[in-house]
A and B are shown apart, each in its own frame.
Chain A
């Protein structure tokens, strides 16, 4: 079974803090994704990575950066957290770069920025 894990289920941070969200997958998948999920807006892609050290902006990259130094780990960084970044963050992985492969999601991190 593919397993995608995220470092925290719940996180509370203050405005202006630097926030790291970690995601690890154990199935040697090439692609990894970060989404945020907000009521009424569905799943919006923040960043994705085709492979180690490769990254590409998604639909809403502003205020975020990512790091992929190892194949199994994809980190999302909020350089200076703001209240409008309060959301559910979902990581996903996929075996390789084609939309015809299914995505495996982690359990999510609910981030609150106060």
Chain B
């Protein structure tokens, strides 16, 4: 069965701290895609990154970085030098061969000034 687990329900850090959001997935597909989305209080889901199952290179985009490890079925997301504007709910998702996104429960990130 396809499943995405985000074990951290809520994380609270002080601004400028680094924070890592964990994501563990389960799938039997050999070809799959992993995603991270951000949902600010406004409600709209904002696409952050997509990774395919054949590309284990880490990705860095500004203060954001992603670590994909097939050996541990994990796709973790790190924010460096966090800012108050990073406060949101972050979702990890898995796309299966049916083009269906299977979502984690989300991690609420609170950045305190």
Partners in one complex: no
Binding site for A on B (CB under 8 A): none
Binding site for B on A (CB under 8 A): none
